[in-house]
Amino acid sequence: MSKKIFFKNNQSNFLISFIIFLLIISSFWLFSVSNRALNLNKNTNWWSIYFTHPQTNGLSFIIENHSNDTQFYWKILANQKKIQEGSLEIKKGSKAKPKIKDLVTIPQGEKITIQVINGNNKNNQEEIYKNN
């Protein structure tokens, strides 16, 4: 009788130890997969633009690059008329804030469009909008 109890205890101890071991191994594996998935520059090709202060009237914006292209061309339009433009180089994994001259000549109520083109491909273009 005592051998059966010992054998049952051994089996349950082995089973509990095995489950704990699997839990530890799977946790390490999931953490490594998660870290690789959260790396914005690994196997990705995207970029974005956004206003630094969207609630204000300021037009300063940031270009964030996670693509292999590093050349960006930007322009600011007021009612589809170009009022300022520029270009800059942004390395992969970096962001930059273009220097914008004071735009006091824009009348109140005009629609402001900021266009950014990545590289030489005009199809790779993004826009953000603001009402002045």
28 and 62 together in one domain: no
Looking at the predicted structure, is the pLDDT value of residue 14 above 60? yes
Tens of pLDDT along 82-121? Answer: 989 999 999 988 999 999 887 656 677 788 899 999 987 7
Q: Can you say whether residue 46 is alpha, beta or left, with left for phi > 0 and alpha for psi between -120 and 50 degrees?
A: beta
CATH of residue 66 = 2.60.40
Its domain, for residue 24, covers 1-38
96 and 32 together in one domain: no
Q: Confidence band (pLDDT; 50, 70, 90) for 54?
A: confident
2 and 60 together in one domain: no
Pairing of strands 71-78, 111-118: antiparallel
Q: H or E element: which one contains 5?
A: helix 2-38
Q: How much is the pTM?
A: 0.69
CA distance 21 to 3: 26
60 and 104 together in one domain: yes
